[in-house]
A and B are shown apart, each in its own frame.
Chain A
């Protein structure tokens, strides 16, 4: 009886592997160059009883993502910031959560990169892609939360994640992007302690 069960489990595993192989064959090669995020600096500080955040982030896209961008595919990026209070024997308490979304597109006529902040609709054009990405990911004097929310004696942490929104890609690319590393950003997460 147990041997039969083991047999069926191994047979199921084999079938799943074959299915995965089929997907891998149909879809684009899975192993590809990854995008990269470098947090050059990340500083949180208190001015006038408010906690601010400033970052200097360099972002580099994979060749595939860059090609897609220059072929007219608009890319959307999300910057997720979360502030929480840590407890020793209790689940952590989230104090604030932000999401800043940008859309980056290439303008063939002017050979420039247009960066649009989705929340406000503000648009900025850049001649260089690196400048656009740097401008998008780097934050200057972002107000995180009032200082009063930070309890003395407790440990508070922040987490910032820069990611490419795969769901915003056109459908054919989206299917591939779920399985390909070319659409992932390596090192896009940074965590720090707020002092």
Chain B
């Protein structure tokens, strides 16, 4: 089931756009305010604080964002994340591209700002303003001198007057000399007498520095500011009363300054001081402008870096998605689908990738299906090859077995892993059936013939066996061979048995028929002529007896052959082999030549489906063969063991009869079951042949071998009812 790779789209994008817009507006506003405020100090004062706060705040925010982005990029670089190096290059490129013009603009802006502020100032203007202020001061000083002269006259007038006339004279002086107030104070500055143009009382105390100076005998003239902001000239004179000769008094006269002159002087002063103030603040103003502009540059730079990060990530997003998708495909995950792209080249690339992955997945599904079918067919063929009785083995181009089926393993009596591990050349140096097979096959592998066939005689775990081995070259030269071999030993043996059966049948027919007339003739001759012959009668008696005995013997032999040749109708029934064996052994124990028969019966031996008569004959033949194999029957010893065992994956009843005689001759070991093959002086050589015949009638197996410590061992495996 296909699923789409995660594409984190959240409110972060909207937030980023809003922030970007805020930065842009902030930058534009800053530049606008800077451009306007450079025209005047007042505008700058109003805008500067706002600019500093806004730009500082924005710079901090952008700085944090840039730091976070940089840290993330460093982390991605360390992790080797796809696209991180390209992002770094892109960021660096964008930063350089944006910063270079910004720095150039910044540099020229600083120059323009400095020159713009410097243009506010002019030496001639400053000199003119200073001169104007000096003129105003001189004018004011001239007026003060005039007021001092007038005050001197007032003092002269007042000195000659008695106390009661002082106040009227002071009032007259107001109008005569244009004074605003005339005040006479004592040495502590307290008012003694006064006259004023105003309604309010004069200031009770005079300035201490003025009184001290006056009391030292020096006249004082100065300008004082009234509460309403207007200026007055204040004249202080030491006053010695000529009438009372009192000393240490102060005559204080206050004159209003001419209003027009005062306004003009004030204007000059304000203009001059404003200019002075500007001059004083010229450098701080430049620094502040440069600082604000630098802050704007820093904000621009940080914003450029931040936008570069965002832009790079935006561009790298489809690339990273492609990288992740490619990695997933490389790891075998074909269910990944990238988020659909836009209508640009990246979108086309993403859509093409998705289409490619879908096609790959479809192709893989088909391949998996085909592979499954092939696997099924292979398993089927393997099962067929594994279950057939023909041995099959394939060799690669180096002659090393690549496959071998169960039948071949069983036939050769080898271990599968061992066979697959060694080549035929290596196997030739070993012993056993596989080595013999390798020895026989090797010349054919080197030959040019595509197919070949050869009959092989191999000594395996089951004795000497005859195989028909066919070999074929697989495909072209150098791709290997297939060996197919069949164990034809049972066929050969069956053919031989059939031949012997035919011989036995003919013998019985051709020999047995004349025997009866011979025996009857011999008995008649003996009966008729023995009494007539006299002394020769004895000879006659021996001769006819010998004839009859030999005929009986030949009859017995012919009957035995007939019995071997004729397969009787079998009557199968479930019987206990243990009980049958016990009965038969018991019979032998009662006979004089019974020897010593040891019987070992395993408990719970299952029943067998068998013909009791034939099985009894089998047991007799086996025991008789074992006893007759030992010269001294009285000392003969036979061990009989009956048990249930596992053989070839099946449960079988195992009957083992072992004697302690000379054993089978090695040269007849593979032909013991054939008729007339016997190592005993007596016997027809049919006993074991019949045993084998009975075993095969009951679908059993028979094996014989010689024990290491002497004696022969016959082992019979029979199926039981439970199997």
Please tell me if B600 contacts chain A, counting CB pairs below 8 Å.
no
- Interface with A: B80-88, B173-181, B283-291, which one? B283-291
Q: Is the CB of A172 within 8 A of B229?
A: no
Q: Does A108 contact B (CB under 8 A)?
A: yes
Bound complex: CA of A108 vs CA of B71, how far in Å? 60
Binds A, one of B9-17, B220-228, B432-440, B647-655: B220-228
The answer to whether B45 and A26 touch across the interface, beta carbons within 8 angstroms, is no
Cβ A109 vs Cβ B140 within 8 A? yes
A3: CB under 8 A from chain B? Answer: no
Would you give the shortest CB distance from A83 to chain B, in whole angstroms? 30
Q: Is B423 an interface residue (CB 8 A)?
A: no
Q: Cβ of B225 and Cβ of A114 under 8 Å apart? A: yes
Task: Give residues 70-95 of B contacting A (CB, 8 Å).
Answer: 71
**Which of the residues B46, B140, B294 comes within 8 Å of A110, measured between beta carbons?**
B140
The verdict on B570 contacting chain A, using a C-beta distance below 8 Å, is no
What are the residues of chain A within 8 A of B71 when measuring CB–CB?
8
Given A28-B284, A170-B281, A175-B284, A108 and B49 contact (CB-CB distance below 8 Å): no
In the complex, which residues of chain A have a beta carbon less than 8 angstroms from the beta carbon of B133? 108-109
B623 to chain A minimum Cβ distance, whole angstroms, is 90
Most chain B CB within a 10 A radius of its CB, from A71, A106, A109, A170: A109
Min CB distance B374 to A, Å, is 53
Q: Is B520 located at the chain interface by the 8 A CB criterion?
A: no
User: Once the chains bind, are B284 and A173 in contact (CB under 8 Å)?
Assistant: yes
Stretch at the interface among B272-280, B401-409, B499-507, B554-562: B272-280
* Contact, CB under 8 Å: B48 / A172: yes
**Number of interface residues, chain A, beta carbon within 8 A:** 31
How many residue pairs at the A-B interface have CB separations less than 8 Å?
A: 96
Q: How far is the CA of A8 from the CA of B64 in the complex (A)?
A: 13
A60 CA to B129 CA in the complex, in Å? 30
Residue numbers in A under 8 Å from B231 (CB-CB): 110
Whether a CB of chain B sits under 8 angstroms from the CB of A125 is yes
In the assembled complex, which residues on chain B have CB atoms less than 8 Å from the CB atom of A48? Answer: none
B723 at the interface (CB under 8 A from A): no
A71 near B287 with CB under 8 A, answer: no
Contact A109 B287 (CB under 8 A): no
Question: Are A170 and B294 closer than 8 Å at their CB atoms?
Answer: no
Known contacts A71-B279, A72-B273, A73-B277; is-contact A170 B291 (Cβ 8 Å): no
A99-115 contacts to B (CB < 8 Å): 106-112, 114
Stretch touching chain A among B262-270, B338-346, B445-453, B698-706: B262-270
Nearest-neighbour CB distance to chain B for A167, whole angstroms, equals 10
Residues of A within 8 A of B52 (CB): 175
Could you name 26 residue pairs across A and B whose Cβ atoms are closer than 8 Å?
A: A26-B287, A26-B291, A27-B287, A71-B279, A72-B272, A72-B276, A73-B280, A73-B281, A110-B222, A110-B225, A112-B225, A125-B224, A170-B41, A170-B277, A170-B281, A171-B45, A171-B46, A171-B288, A172-B44, A172-B48, A172-B285, A172-B287, A173-B281, A173-B284, A175-B287, A176-B287
- A residues near B, CB below 8 A? 8, 22-23, 26-28, 67-68, 71-73, 106-112, 114, 122-123, 125, 127, 131, 170-176
